[in-house]
Structure 1
Amino acid sequence: MANIKSAIKRVDTNNKKRVINQAQKSEMRTQIKHVEKLVEANDVENAKLALQKTMKYIDKAIQKGVIHQNNGDRQKSRLANKVSNLSA
């Protein structure tokens, strides 16, 4: 355990950020699964709407530094391909 006052504060700060990051990442993953479920159900219109919402969640996670830029771009690309193949 940290003995120095600034180290104790840092541990608290890191724990708070970790909880926030976990929640944001979890919500992003939930949105991705929602889109994939709609794609499996061949629901084109709702899948397109959910894709737009999911893109916002992914972009926000990238912006906050929760996930890496390339990871987010890959996720968005895969989802967009799934939805576009569904409508084609």
Structure 2
Amino acid sequence: MANTRQSQKRARQNDARFEINKARRSRIRTHLRAVEEAIATGNADTAKAALAAAQPELMRGVTKGVLHKNTAARKMSRLSARVKALNV
């Protein structure tokens, strides 16, 4: 348990930030799942729309510090390659 006033405040801030980041991660995962489901159905138009909605969420996760930029780039690259393969 935190003893000093400063460490108590840091503990409160950490708890608040954890909840915010948890919500952000969940939102990102929801968008990624929508893309995965659209790919699984084989509907290229739905997959493109879902990918277009997921990209800003991923990038927002990077700017907010929830994801590393290379992680987001890798996820976007792999998803867009899979969506592109639906059109062929």
Q: TM-score range by the shorter chain?
A: over 0.9
Identity, % of aligned positions: 33
After superposition, the C-alpha distances for 1:31-80 in whole angstroms (9 at most, x for unaligned) are 11110110110111111011011001000000101010110000100110
Aligned length: 88
Unpaired segments of 5 or more residues in structure 1?
none
Give the TM-score normalised by the residue count of structure 1.
Answer: 0.97
Q: Partner of 2:84 in structure 1?
A: 84
Superposition RMSD on alpha carbons, in Å? 0.6
Unpaired segments of 5 or more residues in structure 2?
none
Q: Partner of 2:35 in structure 1?
A: 35
Matched, 1:2 2:2: yes
Moved over 4 A (4+): none
Give the TM-score normalised by the residue count of structure 2.
Answer: 0.97
How many angstroms apart in 1 are the aligned matches of 2:3 and 2:41?
A: 55
